[in-house]
Structures are given as C-alpha cells and as structure tokens.
Amino acid sequence: MRDLGFRTLDLRGGGRAEDQATWRSLCSRAAGLEGEADAAARAIIADVRARGDAAVCELTSRFEQRTLTPEQFEISREARAEAAARVSPDLRAALVTAARGIRVFHETQAHGDTGLEIEDVSLYSRVAPLRRVAVYAPGGTAAYPSSVLMAGIPAKVAGVPEVILVTPRAPDVVLLAAEIAEVDRVFQIGGAQAIAALALGTATVPRVDKIVGPGNAYVTAAKRQVFGLCAIDGIAGPSEIVVMADAAADPELIAADLIAQAEHDVLACAILVTDDEALVPRVTAALARQLGDLPRAEIASQALREHGAAVVVDDLAAMVAAVNAYAPEHVELLVAEADEVARQIVSAGAIFVGAFTPEAAGDYTAGPSHVLPTAGAARFASPLGVWDFVKHTSVLRLGRAALAAQAPAIARLARAEGLEGHARAAELRLRETT
C-alpha cells in the first residue's frame, strides 16, 4: 500500500502548538498575489501594451511553443462547427444535459430595475448587461469544457451581446461546449498575454468589459493587474475541498471526494475535518486503494501529501468552526442532520449536502456555476452568477419642489466640505425667474 504522507492535525482540546500553527497556515493560504508569476505578468502586460498583436505572437511562441499569426488568433465559425461535429454523440448528450441544468438554474437569478417614485422624485437602479465579456478556459494538463458552460451560459442568460472564449488550445469538446453555450467568438490564445490583450485591446483582439474563468498562476496574476482596465470575477487560487464527516460517514466516499479534488493539480487542497479519530486511518487506507488505478494518481498523491490534511476536532460545533475558518471553495457534509449543519456554514463557495451530492455534481450537471471563490475568498466573495454580467446605473430625477426641499441640506453639506460650487449648483436652479 502506498505511503501517502497524508498528515493528521489533532486540534482537540486546543491541540499541539505545532498542529495549531500548521492549521493556521492552511487557513491563511493566498492565491499567489506576489512572487514570480506576479512579476512575469507585469512584464507581459507591458509588452502587450507596447506591441499589441506582435507581443501576443512572440509570447505564445516562447511559452507554448506554438506559432500563430494574428490572422490565426480567431477560430472561424466554420472550423468551430466542424470540430463540434467530431465529438461523439454520448459526450455531446452529456454536455447538453449539463447545459440545460446550468441554464435553468441561472434563469432564476435574472432580476430587473428597482427603485421608487414619490411625488416629483424618481430614483432607480437600472440593470443592464455588460456589452462584451471574455471567458478564459485553461488549456494545460486537462481540458475543461464544463468551465465554458459554467461561465458562458450565465453571461448569455444575463443578456451579454458578445461573449468571447479564449483558450490556448481548443480541443473539439471545448469548441462544442462553446457552441452549446452560444459563445460568439473563440480565440486560440492563452496565458497572461491573452489576459493583457483582452483588457487592453489589440488590432485583432477586442477589448472586453470583464474577464471571467480560472487559469494558472500567471493568468491569475495578470487578471489581478488588469483590474481597473476591465472587471474580473476574482482571484482564483488552486481548487479546494473540505469534507466534514462524522463517525457514521463512509470512508470510501470521503476518499473519493478528496481524490476528485486532488486530481485537478498538484496545488489542489483536500481536507478532511472530523470529530472521530478512528475515521482517519480508514480514510487513509481508502485513499491508497483508490489511488492505485487512478490515471492522475501522481498528481493527486502530491496534492494530498503537500496540501491535504485530516483535521481532528472535539465535536460538531468545532467542525463547523473549522470549516468557517478555512472558508473552502467546496464543502461536503457527510454528517447527521446535514441540512441543519449547512445553515451554520457561512464561509464556503458551495455546500454539498449529504452522501448523494458529490462535489462532482456541482462541477458538471447540478446547475450552479462551478466558478467559485478560492484561497479563503469565500469569506467575502460569491459564486459566479448572472449578477457578474450586469451593471447597475443610478437614474435620478427631481422636480422643482423636491430640489427646493433638499437644497438647504445640499448647500450646508457642500459648504461644510469646502465645495462652494456644489452649493451654488443647487441654489442656482431655484432662482426666481422673471
């Protein structure tokens, strides 16, 4: 049986100082906001700003060993259709099933203008879709057509007129997902150079209002740095899960869900939180068995060893506290009274309740977007949704009587702030005319 090196942190009764320090370190993880990727992204953005398409071509050759001309950036609709037609009928059917669930769920998030009218005062928040957004789909160790659906469909439900997909390598299944999601244009560029091109605009790549979707550390660093030139969905770190389990939980299910997250990449985080010490060796044994024939066993094993842990705490309340402290992207509840426990989880991107709700259902078919806050951002951030693809504009209209009622307060506040022009702009409108 393989030695996983899956560590155990015993936090019962306060726990050892060493285990407490390790747990604090796990909870305070960051999404690579500084370091090599940050510096590299800064240089790439500056290069694309200066040289546009030429920089994108050169950087693509340097980092991806692909030769592209600007004329080859965009994949034509004809080529996309041909690629989509090559996908097997069963895989097409699976994507259609997933898309249907995603669309139905996100249609519940649509909302309209809000506001009020009182006599001669009209105040509104007007809701309108963004005009052009980009969905980034990774093209590294795995293809993610599901990410295209999970980001592209909410954008279209929101009414975005132009959705652009950028991906460094576009296998047929990803192009089929783009067709099903009704993506308007597809560009076969990637990395920090693609983010820069989308945020700045080049002769070939249109400037977008927002960039969404996960990517590697360089993509994440570039997204952070272009914020302000355009909007972004968030700072994506490695994927992560916490499985909360009590003594009655099935160790095979726990192991399966930890592995499902760990196989994403070697930086993925997979944590077990339990109040039953005896469960830990049973889960460790199940992990070793299931990794035996897993195609991505080396990736999953390294992730479990370097970023995973079994955390043993005193009781259910301590389990809830541990989950909220970690603020995971995903949390799975394999405990008694799971619905009640779910109400106590206040810091998580998505909560999977009960033994028949694997995190994999959220990745593909259940409906809510799997683009979720990571690296502890679930303390303050939300899943990707229709709300990410609209903006609110305040619309104000005052009649003369309403302005007359407000003008004394306007003038007093303006003069208190040393802004005489503000005060006069209100008072001037109320002058008696002959």
Asked if residue 239 belongs to a known ligand binding site, the reply is yes
* Cβ contact 164:183 at 8 Å: yes
Determine which one of 179, 240, 263, 329 is catalytic: 329
Asked if residue 324 belongs to a known ligand binding site, the reply is no
Instruction: Tell which residue, 231, 199, 198, 194, has the closest CA to residue 216.
Output: 194
Element of type H or E holding 311: strand 309-312
Only one residue has tokens 């015993």, namely: 10
Backbone angles phi, psi at 46, to 5 degrees: -65, -40
Asked if residue 363 belongs to a known ligand binding site, the reply is yes
Asked if residue 218 belongs to a known ligand binding site, the reply is no
Asked if residue 193 belongs to a known ligand binding site, the reply is yes
The DSSP string of 24-55 is HHHHT-----SSHHHHHHHHHHHHHHHHTHHH
Asked if residue 136 belongs to a known ligand binding site, the reply is yes
Determine which one of 179, 240, 263, 330 is catalytic: 330
Asked if residue 370 belongs to a known ligand binding site, the reply is no
Only one residue has tokens 């132009």, namely: 162
Task: Give the integer Cα–Cα distance in Å for 426 and 89.
Answer: 66
* Cβ contact 367:105 at 8 Å: yes
Asked if residue 422 belongs to a known ligand binding site, the reply is yes
Task: Give the integer Cα–Cα distance in Å for 349 and 345.
Answer: 10
Q: Is 330 considered catalytic here? A: yes
Task: Give the integer Cα–Cα distance in Å for 221 and 219.
Answer: 5
Task: Give the integer Cα–Cα distance in Å for 202 and 205.
Answer: 5
Element of type H or E holding 70: none
Largest CA distance in the chain: 96
Asked if residue 188 belongs to a known ligand binding site, the reply is no
Task: Give the integer Cα–Cα distance in Å for 350 and 412.
Answer: 48
* 330 contact partners, CB below 8 Å, separation of at least 6: 240, 241, 242, 261, 348, 349, 350, 352, 359, 362, 372
50 to 69, 192, 196, 200, 419: CA distances (angstroms): 17, 15, 11, 10, 40
What is the phi-psi region of residue 201: left when phi exceeds 0, alpha when psi lies from -120 to 50, beta otherwise? left
230 to 65, 132, 157, 163, 324: CA distances (angstroms): 29, 11, 21, 15, 31
Side chain identity, residue 146:
S
The catalytic residues are: 329-330
Cite the annotated binding site by residue number: 136, 193, 216, 239, 261, 264, 330, 363, 417, 422
Q: Which residue numbers belong to the known binding site for substrate?
A: 239, 261, 264, 330, 363, 417, 422
Binding site, annotated residues for NAD(+): 136, 193, 216
Q: Residues comprising the binding site for Zn(2+)?
A: 261, 264, 363, 422
